Amino acid sequence: MELNDDCPVSMTSRKRKSSEEQDSSILRNFSMDELNQDVLERVLSRLPTSSFFRLTSVCKRWKSVAASESFKLACSAIPSRDPWFFMVDPHLNRMVVFDSAERSWKRLNQPPLLQKVSNHNSMPVAASGGLICFRNFSDDLIVCNPLTGSCSQVPSLDPTSQNQPLHAIVMKASSSSLNQSHKLTLVFGELPKLSFRIYNSLTNSWEEEIELRRVKDESSVETEANQDSAVYFLSKAGNVVATNMQRSPCKQYSSVITNQNGEDIVYFLSSTGKVVACNLSRKSFSEYPRLLPVFCEYSIDVVECRGRMLVVLLSEFFESVSLRVWWYDDIARAWRQVAAMPPAMSQEWYGKKVDVNCVGAGDKILICLNSAELFSYVVCDLVANEWVELPKCCVDGKAVEFMSAFSFEPRIEAIA
């Protein structure tokens, strides 16, 4: 019995070994040249985007694949790619990105259109999909794919719109491979009189200006009307408490767009630190209550993560510093804490007059912290509540300082 029981096992083992040796032999003799063009393009499209720059140097066939339209179509079938962060340095003379997949810094070539004298030192102002929008000193907008260098200049606005105070510039790129397009939305005017205009790349034109109707929150108006000399700060427990300290405001500009229940909403920071929500579908806007009052010293920014607007706020109280992430509960009309930087990390910034500039990417937020003495870049994982500092980017042996960043998907198929 034991012999009979052992024999089948031994035979199975020999069969499995023989099969594995046969598969190994096939793999050793397999060549990518044996793949037809369609299969090869699908295989190469699944490689990390950074590999795209090396395809042209492998062989003539791969070089032709990298330039083919069918390969770009295969790339567009990949549902998502790990984000890259386009870093903005104070001199606007570098195109540096951080590859979140490989956790490495990369230098990109300046697109030809941005090399023109009229477009020197253009400032990135918005990003979506695989595209980034730049704004030059003449207030002209240029949409660019930073990987391929393809660019297109947006038609100028009429003087009436162009001369109004600008509060927000956001971009929304279509993810459809059959109908690639993008829209730019500008919100401008003097509060409480706001308007917006939308540029559609399909028609290469600006739509008519639309006024936004103000929607007041009676509870927040009453609270502000009754404010006395007390100001508010964030306790270590995450609560908003009062004190009678007075500090100078720190102003920060930023804007994001989300889609909630089919409605596009643009958020930006007013000069007083309030978050303004512009519902483009309903043609209305409202102001959220401040997390901290206008006379309290803090730095604030807004980001978009998974279709939700979040606020990143750094504040000081006595000898402590807190950096926290908040979201606004529309039902309760109150701010809720999402995450908080560990005190051991945030305390380093005490008394440094820090400015925070942030960008969201999925469940993560990249936070650029800058002061006259220090600078650092930290990624916050909202799901795990983990805070990780990025390695410094060094050029000629010196660490480069970046003041902000934009998140985009590295897609060679994206058309500007």
Residue 368 has pLDDT above 90, yes or no: yes
- Domain co-membership, 191 together with 50: no
The reported pTM is 0.81
- Domain co-membership, 114 together with 44: no
- Of 74, 99, 129, the one marking the end of a domain is 74
- Of 59, 74, 89, the one marking the end of a domain is 74
Categorize the per-residue pLDDT at 178 as very low, low, confident or very high, splitting at 50, 70 and 90.
low
- Domain co-membership, 202 together with 116: yes
User: CB under 8 Å, gap of 24 or more: what pairs does 35-44 form?
Assistant: 37/65, 37/70, 38/70, 40/65, 41/65, 41/68, 41/70, 41/71, 41/74, 42/74, 44/71, 44/74
- Region 396-405: what's the mean pLDDT? 88
- Of 25, 59, 74, the one marking the end of a domain is 74
Residue 116's alpha-carbon distances to 133, 142, 181, 236, in angstroms, are 16, 12, 25, 50
- Region 382-405: what's the mean pLDDT? 91
- Domain co-membership, 204 together with 264: yes
Place of tokens 């490989």: 102
Residue 272 has pLDDT above 50, yes or no: yes
The residue that leads in pLDDT, 393 or 69, is 393
Q: Give Rg (Cα) of the chain.
A: 26
pLDDT reported for residue 5: 36
- Region 280-301: what's the mean pLDDT? 86
pLDDT reported for residue 4: 35
pLDDT reported for residue 221: 47
- Domain co-membership, 65 together with 126: no
Q: Give bridge partners of residue 378 from the DSSP assignment.
A: 367, 389
Residue 243 has pLDDT above 50, yes or no: no
- The burial class, CB within 10 Å (0-12 / 13-18 / 19+), for 318 is exposed
Residue 78 has pLDDT above 70, yes or no: yes
Categorize the per-residue pLDDT at 154 as very low, low, confident or very high, splitting at 50, 70 and 90.
very high
The residue that leads in pLDDT, 90 or 338, is 338
pLDDT reported for residue 33: 65
pLDDT tens digit string along 254-270? 799 999 889 999 999 98
pLDDT reported for residue 224: 45
Backbone torsion region of residue 121, taken as left when φ is above 0, otherwise alpha when ψ lies between -120 and 50, otherwise beta: left
In a domain, 403, yes or no: yes
Task: Give the total residue count for the chain.
Answer: 416
Number of domains the chain contains = 2
In a domain, 4, yes or no: no
Categorize the per-residue pLDDT at 151 as very low, low, confident or very high, splitting at 50, 70 and 90.
very high
- Domain co-membership, 243 together with 373: yes
pLDDT tens digit string along 9-56? 344 444 444 555 554 554 455 566 667 777 877 888 787 888 777 777
- Domain co-membership, 45 together with 115: no
pLDDT reported for residue 6: 38
The structure tokens listed for 194 are 């706001």
Q: What is the mean pLDDT of the chain?
A: 81
- Domain co-membership, 124 together with 64: no
- Domain co-membership, 372 together with 236: yes
The residue segments making up the domain with residue 383 are 80-214+231-408
- Domain co-membership, 131 together with 197: yes
- Domain co-membership, 160 together with 296: yes
In a domain, 192, yes or no: yes
Residue 208 has pLDDT above 60, yes or no: yes
Residue 85 has pLDDT above 70, yes or no: yes
- Domain co-membership, 303 together with 363: yes
pLDDT tens digit string along 112-138? 898 888 888 888 999 999 999 999 888
In a domain, 222, yes or no: no
